[in-house]
Structure 1
Amino acid sequence: MSAVISVLFFVLHILSCRGEFFSSTSGLEKLFKTEILLLEELQNYVNEINQHALALQSEIDAIRMEHLSAAENIDDYLNNPVNAFRLIKRLHSDWETFESSVSTDTSRENFIENMVGHKANLSFPSQDDFVGSAIALTRLQQTYQLDVAELASGILNGVKYGTAMSWQDCFVLGQHLYALRDFNHTVPWLQQSMQLLGEQSYGQESASLDFMEAVVDYHREMGAHETALGLVNHVLSIEPEHRSHLLETRQQLEELITDGDKNGLLHMTARRPGDYHASREFKMYEQVCRGDLNPSPAKLRELRCRFRRSRLGYAPFKLEELSHEPLVFQVHQVVSSKSAEFIKKMARPKIKRSTVYSIGGGGGSQAAAFRTSQGASFNYSRNAATKILSRHVGDLSSLDMNFAEELQVANYGIGGHYEPHWDSFPENHIYDEGDDRGNRIATGIYYLSDVEAGGGTAFPFLPLLVTPEKGSLLFWYNLHESGDQDYRTKHAACPVLQGSKWIANVWIRERNQHNVRPCGLQRNHEISVPFRDFD
């Protein structure tokens, strides 16, 4: 147990840009299979020894019980962000503890040898996966204003989804947030860890109290004096005679609180001016994701649902207007469940970390922490399922699909998101050599799955939240009729709170679209310019 507690800080360089598992729920199945094999390996070793059997068996039983529960619906289990974090955390940290325990026993050779072979052939999460999953949990906590105690209990927005986190889980998460210098989130997770530890039967043992006393130093360094004082009082209430040295610490903390002392890491790391995550725009985005910011009733009264005749002989489209200015609409029941599952199955073996165009253009792209998903691109002519996606968008918009980019299928993982962005390229964008198709005139998003909670498409400036609905298509124009960017179309993928989000992106370029959407005699972009440099 002590080895689990003494997790070392990591030296972190690039956050969540290379992770292969946390950025897509699809990859988590490999980790689940890895843990199944590791459990079998550890069980074989335990059967050969007696000295450490009880301690190791208790760990095995706890994980196996979780696996048995997960087996009832493996997708629901892996799509839960708390379960995903605990799975990654166990494979990243706990299994090293098991190995360390085994290394002290003389009968360890077979186990160690087998583990070496497994590490060479099985899937294991990287440090980026572990850090990415930790950041994803705090992203969900902040975006949806989740209570830490409920989140640790497996409760998401009032619904119990999965297994509760242990006090060790909460501590390791808090410790890594501390290493990431995210002190505002460190404090509540360490608080939750100590509360859970205190509730355990061994929470009043001297070893546990030693640990709590050590955690006091975390809070003192961060300037969380009230939390530190609470821990000190708890320890003194159990062992007042053996902890008399804490009386001076308590007095110091009480004086700091009385004086309103603001020293500490929490107060030294306030967000700097210009930090996008502290901007009014980002706060609006989070409000839209939570459903706290909605279109005005007057705007909603202007909208209607209608049938749109199909030129290709299919049943009429069920079209729902979401915004008139700019034009945004959602078409329901466009893709059959069978086709959606086929497209996801086609994409799974090929998906890799999603990238964004790098600053400076030139067609270069790179992974970024503000976009966590995995995707794969396909030519529309690949098969009947992809062809029909192109035809439906062309039929609905009358745009020339010969100048569309390849279809991009994407899957969002633990807390998967894409912060507010425009699909259209800026005026100074440098196109690839030979790419004369122009800017992205329009975007279509096919939703290939329902999402149990979160994961909506948010337009902060409209303000509008579109809930993923399997088989539907979301469509909007990125450009004014003049060809200028419509800055009101900045949008985002809200973090996935529960479930697995699959989409297929359609981006249509402006070349040869003049017959469908001719330019006016005057530019008409002034209405959206105020949203270009929104605070």
Structure 2
Amino acid sequence: MKIPHILVSWCVICCVSGQNFMGSSGRDDLFSATSNLEELLTREGEIVRMVDKYLQAAQERLDTIRSYVNDYRHLTGSGSRGSDTGVGALSSVVAHPIDAYLLLKRLTVEWGMVEDAMTHHANATAGLVQRVLLFREHSTFPDLDDLHGAAVALVRLQDTYRLNMTTLPAGAFTGVGQHTHEFQSVKQLTARDCLFLGKHAFNKGYYDKAIEWFEAALDLVEGAGDRSVPREEIEPFLTAAMNVHDDILEKRGPRGVDWQTNPVPMDKTLAKKLRYSSVAQDTFMPKLYQHQTDQEEEEHYTRLCRGEKLRPSSIESVLVCRYSDNGEAYLRLMPLQLEEMSLDPYIIVMHNFLTDTQTQAVIERAKPRLTASRHRSPDGGFVSSMVRTSKNAWLREADSKDDMMTKMTMKIEKATGLEALAPSAGEDYQVANYGIGGLYVTHTDYLMINPDPAAYLPWEHFIGDRYGTFMVYLSDVEAGGATVFPRAGVTIWPRRGSAAFWWNLYRSGTGDENTRHGACPVLHGSKWISNKWIHYNDQFLKHNCGLNTWDKLSYP
């Protein structure tokens, strides 16, 4: 079945305007970090102040012009705009000497004032446009790539959290995680917005979600009387999307790397086929602590992001919260508040590891340095894409004049029993801020997975792979934004000042695949984190290799 021309045209336009919606114009995108959006709102405030000042002056000029027009209509009795006044009526007006005098006054003195008002208005308009253009040239403002990226992010939120499409166009949804109350936007989407989002959903292979957006657009036109787009423009997209949805489902199945559909066709005749009769009876069975296909991993990821429990009670019942000083005198008076999230792989959360003052200080130091986050591509290089939508900055202990970062690292050393301060032992702090639907798909923190030693630099061989990850949550997140481990069935909800820690490697230095993890999309709020990766080779004095390849560490 051929894809309808109307959708082919859209795909071409979308692909040309922004390949992966991540900085194709040669600059960092704006939608992937809330700090950028906050700054953007401030810049918009500057423009609004310019426009408001212009409007106040323009109103005075318009009052002068309107007064002139109204005087004429009142005098001649021509109340409606453009109505003609008869010759007799005109004669009666100029017959009176005072009216004749006022006519001359209007066409000399008063017309001069009107002419000045119109000239000043035109000049002020041109001046405002020039000032705004100049302001935009010297500041960073969004372009169409940012809009496309934000649209895709919103579709991902809809998909990951199964947002109710009855209320989402009106800006209302229920949170997940620590806050499950309803969130309401200030403004609502129009039918034109829903059509736009449906096109993006289709272009990214979310055929099921595209249909929902097109249907939402129709509902707004028919039910709410929305006139932003005619019904006739929406219906061809909805019909075409349904046809492509069913064609993809029939030929390729309901889910793949770059597409997804509903499990049952939209066409009622096709839906009666025997192959779809048992779909409703299919039940999800978690597949933990073993290899997962891309589709299985994505399914586990999204379910954990939504807060679903995938582990049996036999695993969760042995997890405890406890105090620990890790054998360090420094921690004896203020022990670590440990919450065990998993024993295999070993994952813990240290509550209240940093104070609010410390977390805010880290954020403020990172803000000026934020750039688009990158991830390692299959060819070994680092790229920016929708796989990781955030911005990050790197902070060194040596850059901190007040030793705050150094003291943080020293506390991490005492909490983990690892060497982290030396350049060969620990990486610089990576501080990341996630924006609209900000996420990082499932990945491993250890990087040395190529069996060819020549693939890595001498320095990488010298320091070894990332032994442990120490991740501090620098902000609370009102909804979404969890860190999840699809193979281990673990979900960690962000809490300001808390730190998550896990071992990425076995004691032999081999990567533990069960530590594959991802950052769930931020549904509401702003997410800030800071990562400290600790490398393997500098730990040789503190940790033996183990008796076999698969020996693990399970402390602090």
The normalised TM-score by structure 2 is 0.69
| Structure 1 range deviating more: 308-317 or 107-116 | 107-116
Work out the CA distance in 2 between the residues paired with 1:119 and 1:523.
58
Question: When the two structures are aligned, how many residues end up with a matched partner?
Answer: 418
Alpha-carbon contact 2:191-2:226 (below 8 Å) kept = no
State the shift of 1:324 in Å.
1.3
Question: CA-to-partner distance for each residue in 1:435-465, whole Å, 9 max, x for gaps?
Answer: 3101111111011111111111101111010
Cross-structure match for 2:189:
165
Question: CA-to-partner distance for each residue in 1:129-168, whole Å, 9 max, x for gaps?
Answer: 1111111111111111111232222222250232222333
State the shift of 1:201 in Å.
5.0
Cross-structure match for 1:347:
366
1:473 aligns with 2:499: yes
Structure 2 unaligned regions, length at least 5: 1-9, 63-120, 175-180, 246-265, 273-291
Work out the CA distance in 1 between the residues paired with 2:145 and 2:378.
23
Cross-structure match for 2:132:
115
Query: What percent of counterpart residues are identical?
Result: 29
Query: Which of the residues 307, 320, 328 maps onto 1:291?
Result: 307
Cross-structure match for 2:330:
312
1:186 aligns with 2:210: yes
State the shift of 1:181 in Å.
5.6
Describe how 1:131-530 pairs up with structure 2 within 5 A: 131-157=148-174, 159-163=182-186, 164-180=188-204, 182-201=206-225, 203=227, 211-223=230-242, 260=270, 279-309=295-325, 310-313=328-331, 315-361=334-380, 364-383=381-400, 384-401=403-420, 402=422, 403-428=425-450, 430-435=455-460, 436-524=462-550
State the shift of 1:219 in Å.
1.9
SS in 1 for 2:329: coil
Work out the CA distance in 1 between the residues paired with 2:219 and 2:46.
33
Alpha-carbon contact 2:434-2:527 (below 8 Å) kept = yes
SS in 1 for 2:545: coil
State the shift of 1:311 in Å.
3.3
The normalised TM-score by structure 1 is 0.72
Work out the CA distance in 2 between the residues paired with 1:427 and 1:421.
12
| Structure 1 range deviating more: 172-181 or 144-153 | 172-181
| Structure 1 range deviating more: 159-168 or 323-332 | 159-168
Q: Which has the larger radius of gyration?
A: 2
State the shift of 1:385 in Å.
2.4
State the shift of 1:44 in Å.
5.2
Alpha-carbon contact 1:219-1:225 (below 8 Å) kept = no
| Structure 1 range deviating more: 217-226 or 183-192 | 217-226
Work out the CA distance in 2 between the residues paired with 1:277 and 1:413.
28
* CA RMSD in angstroms, aligned pairs only: 3.0
Work out the CA distance in 1 between the residues paired with 2:308 and 2:205.
29
Work out the CA distance in 2 between the residues paired with 1:39 and 1:47.
12
Change (3 A) 1:259 1:497: closer
Alpha-carbon contact 1:337-1:471 (below 8 Å) kept = yes
SS in 2 for 1:374: strand
Alpha-carbon contact 1:24-1:416 (below 8 Å) kept = yes
SS in 2 for 1:286: helix
Cross-structure match for 1:20:
29
Cross-structure match for 1:272:
none
State the shift of 1:197 in Å.
2.7
Structure 1 unaligned regions, length at least 5: 1-6, 54-104, 227-255, 263-275, 527-535
Letter in 2 for 1:15: N
Letter in 2 for 1:312: Y
Question: CA-to-partner distance for each residue in 1:323-353, whole Å, 9 max, x for gaps?
Answer: 1122111111110110000110111111111
SS in 2 for 1:285: helix
State the shift of 1:386 in Å.
1.2
Alpha-carbon contact 2:18-2:145 (below 8 Å) kept = no
Change (3 A) 1:12 1:179: farther
SS in 1 for 2:368: coil
Alpha-carbon contact 2:18-2:148 (below 8 Å) kept = no
Work out the CA distance in 2 between the residues paired with 1:121 and 1:130.
20
Alpha-carbon contact 1:277-1:283 (below 8 Å) kept = no
Change (3 A) 1:180 1:48: farther
Question: CA-to-partner distance for each residue in 1:254-297, whole Å, 9 max, x for gaps?
Answer: xx9576599xxxxxxxxxxxxx9961111011111112233321
| Structure 1 range deviating more: 127-136 or 489-498 | 127-136
Change (3 A) 1:46 1:188: farther
Work out the CA distance in 2 between the residues paired with 1:257 and 1:484.
50
State the shift of 1:221 in Å.
2.3
SS in 1 for 2:148: helix
1:31 aligns with 2:40: yes
Alpha-carbon contact 2:215-2:238 (below 8 Å) kept = no
Describe how 1:26-105 pairs up with structure 2 within 5 A: 26-43=35-52
Change (3 A) 1:513 1:196: same
Work out the CA distance in 1 between the residues paired with 2:320 and 2:198.
48
| Structure 1 range deviating more: 154-163 or 387-396 | 154-163
Alpha-carbon contact 1:306-1:320 (below 8 Å) kept = yes
Change (3 A) 1:334 1:463: same
Cross-structure match for 2:91:
none
| Structure 1 range deviating more: 443-452 or 124-133 | 124-133
Alpha-carbon contact 1:459-1:490 (below 8 Å) kept = yes
Question: CA-to-partner distance for each residue in 1:69-102, whole Å, 9 max, x for gaps?
Answer: xxxxxxxxxxxxxxxxxxxxxxxxxxxxxxxxxx
Change (3 A) 1:176 1:259: same
Alpha-carbon contact 1:422-1:487 (below 8 Å) kept = yes
State the shift of 1:479 in Å.
0.6
Alpha-carbon contact 2:217-2:234 (below 8 Å) kept = no
Letter in 2 for 1:316: P
Work out the CA distance in 2 between the residues paired with 1:295 and 1:490.
16
